[in-house]
Amino acid sequence: MPPSPFSRSWTDRSRPGYKVRYAVRHPERVVPYVRRAGRDLWLRLRSRGDHVAYYRGVMASDTARSPEAAVGGAPSRERWLAIGRMQFDYLVGHGLRPEDRMLEIGCGNLRAGWRFIRHLEPGHYYGIDISPDILIEAKRTLVRYGLQDRMPYLTPVDDLTLDFLPDAHFTVVHAHSVFSHSPLEVIDECLAHVGRVLAPGGFFDFTFDRTEGREHQVLREDFYYRTETLVGLARKHGLRARFMDDWELLPHGQSKLRVTGPEPDPAVP
């Protein structure tokens, strides 16, 4: 894998020294950070260690303030649209066809999803999310763009076992800015089950916050992983993961892996 264009991939945001330096450079963000830390602590105590319940509370709080900002922290509708367009253009440029059957994990308020729905054949988009609040905003996005006749599926979930979905059905699975907010056990759960729903020849693209240093988390909202950790996790479940170098050239702070099923054994007819 080539060197990252992001020098910050070595940064450990959980260390007190980093937080102090950041506060000195950005004093206007100290009070909002303290407020968010207090809110997150209260939500963690309320959820009693259940990360899904905790993050559902985070999304409910963020969505109530701003649906656009709740998805990826977009500061404006223009940025919301730009990040959605980036995801769409990348996938179309890397094999997404109208006839594909797509599962979007963490579809949010359809920042990219409305473009996928418009591109795909009717009924070929299935979006899931842990947040009922953000799915209500997703339905509003459908209405805003007049996509009711595309008949997408939007479903709330409380885990990533995908047990209610059919075997070998989806040719494309997509998760943008989901694993960047997930502890390793949640990612492991997803990789343990996504292979079952992937159609032969299908792929699963996901982004993550990459670090070249120590793996860490901030406020239990943002998680930073080494690439080899996630590649090894995929391998454990019989999947192959490939680092998507060209995604690094785009104006987005996360990295991307593409997961596929194992290579077929040439000795097996």
Q: What is the pLDDT of residues 198-251, one digit of tens each?
A: 999 999 999 999 999 899 988 778 899 999 999 999 999 999 999 999 999 998
For the chain, domains (ranges, CATH) are 7-260 (3.40.50.150)
Tell me how far apart the alpha carbons of residues 79 and 99 are, in angstroms, rounded to a whole number.
29
Pure H helices in the chain: 16-25, 30-47, 51-65, 67-70, 77-93, 113-119, 132-144, 184-197, 227-236
Q: What is the pTM of this model?
A: 0.83
Spans in the chain with pLDDT lower than 70: 1-24, 26, 29-33, 36-37, 39, 43, 66-75, 263-269
